[in-house]
């Protein structure tokens, strides 16, 4: 019996120490429905903004698709070729602006919407 109580006590102490370590890294206080103030450990999310990077990529493809739909295939390719004849930064831009399957699909969707 004493071993079982000691085991539960040790388990509870470990749980409390773990919570204290988490609270030491940062916490948020909130008020429950009954007025009790409770401190909860601050959630640590990813430090790198993956959602922001994904939104930038989606916006880039949408922009490329819009340009491709508005300019047409021939004019778009001519402008990308002019861009690729420029400086290093312009060459990188030309590489990014090349027509790919995603851009072509987006431009087709936009053409059907705009007509």
Residues 30 and 63 in one domain: no
> 58-94 in b/e burial notation, b at 16+ Cβ within 10 A?
eeeeeebbebbbeeeeeebeeebeebeeeeeeeeeeb
Residues 65 and 103 in one domain: yes
pLDDT at 101: 95
Give me the mean pLDDT over the 20-31 stretch.
90
Residues 74 and 33 in one domain: no
Domain that holds residue 110: 50-114
Give me the mean pLDDT over the 60-89 stretch.
94
pLDDT at 1: 59
Query: How does the average pLDDT of the chain come out, rounded?
Result: 91
More confident residue, 3 or 83: 83
* pLDDT digits 0-9 by tens, 8-17: 999 999 999 9
Q: Retrieve residue 106's tokens.
A: 């987006």
Residue 38 clears pLDDT 80, i.e. is over it: yes
Residues 68 and 95 in one domain: yes
pLDDT above 70 coverage of the chain, percent: 98
How many distinct structural domains can be found in the chain?
A: 2
């Amino acid at each position: 019996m004493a071993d079982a109580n000691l085991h539960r006590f040790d388990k509870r102490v470990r749980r409390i120490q773990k919570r204290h370590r988490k609270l030491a890294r940062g916490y948020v206080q909130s008020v429950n429905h009954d007025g009790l103030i409770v401190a909860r450990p601050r959630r640590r999310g990813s430090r790198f903004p993956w959602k922001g990077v994904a939104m930038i990529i989606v916006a880039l493809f949408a922009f490329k698709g819009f340009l491709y739909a508005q300019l047409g295939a021939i004019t778009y390719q001519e402008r990308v070729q002019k861009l690729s004849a420029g400086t290093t930064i312009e060459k990188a831009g030309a590489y990014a602006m090349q027509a790919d399957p995603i851009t072509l699909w987006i431009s087709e969707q936009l053409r059907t919407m705009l007509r």
